[in-house]
Amino acid sequence: DVMERSLYNNVVAGIGLDGKTFFYPNPLECNMEYAFNSGKTLDRQPWFDCSCCPSNDVRIIASIPGYVYALKDNDLYINLYINGSAETKIAGKKISITQNTQYPWDGRVLLTVKPEKASAFTVKLRIPGWAVNQVLPGDLYSFTGKDNQLPEIKVNGKSVTFTTEKGYASLSRKWKKGDQVELYLPMPVRKVVANPKVKDDAGKACFIRGPITYCAEQQDNEKDVLQIFCPEKPEFSVNYRKDFLGGCVVLKTKTLAPKTGPEKNSLPDETELTLIPYALWNNRGANKMTVWFGEQK
């Protein structure tokens, strides 16, 4: 779960969509005053004097295929849900497996298992913590409220009951060529708060959908994003935009922002809040950005 959260947020955020510009840190807020990128700038940079970040990004992205699957005895672990295929051996017999999915934008994954010969083994599907009301292992972050939608698994079109052990659902059977497993992970937008001991996040909340953490960039929002209140009970529209920032899901909801100037003591204004995946911010030039939103007092 930590690997997935890191890959889709921290790691990818460090690289511009052009593949040639980088962040040194990953700030969760930009006020257009503090020069956070190696203490020099607000923009992504082509290189750094101490260039461990670009080279580490290259290394980890190139190594992702090695993280997707794992083997132990007669168990085939599916760790990450990514389009592609792999070949391996279980008990000396060749096995191929293919994934078809729009993950992380959609929680549906279709796996096709193709053993060289019909074979008995166990396919272990990782059930992410975020799909069962846990943001990440530990108590650093938690969801507000509980989502009652549950993951679903089908084998060859038939629903199966399953239990999880250490985050994995086990499917043990004699697999034959062309068997298909369908995994559905519900992806509602969830409100997240930090442990009260994290003082900078006290009284604030952020939003995630599936493994993706979202932020507000100023150029998508009319009101100052650093002043917008966190929606109390938000209802989000969820739209996949193919031609926006390389293709991503954009979230929109209604919330409030304080008035400024002579009307600053009046009731706050209603405003539309637009959120984009945090990893894609600062690809249209430097502007204000925030992940955490203060609660209305």
Interior angle at CA 275, CA 273 and CA 276, nearest 5 = 160
Give yes or no for residue 22 having a pLDDT over 70.
Answer: yes
Q: Measuring CA to CA, which residue among 67, 192, 204 is closest to residue 135?
A: 192
Question: What was the pLDDT predicted at 54?
Answer: 82
Alpha carbons 208 and 203: distance in angstroms, whole number: 17
Is-above-0.85 flag for pTM?
yes
pLDDT (tens digit per residue) in 82-108: 999 999 999 889 999 999 999 999 999
Looking at the DSSP bridge assignments, the partners of residue 37 are 41
Q: What is the pLDDT of residue 48?
A: 84
Is residue 211 over pLDDT 80? yes
Alpha helices in the chain (DSSP H): 2-5, 12-13, 52-63, 65-68
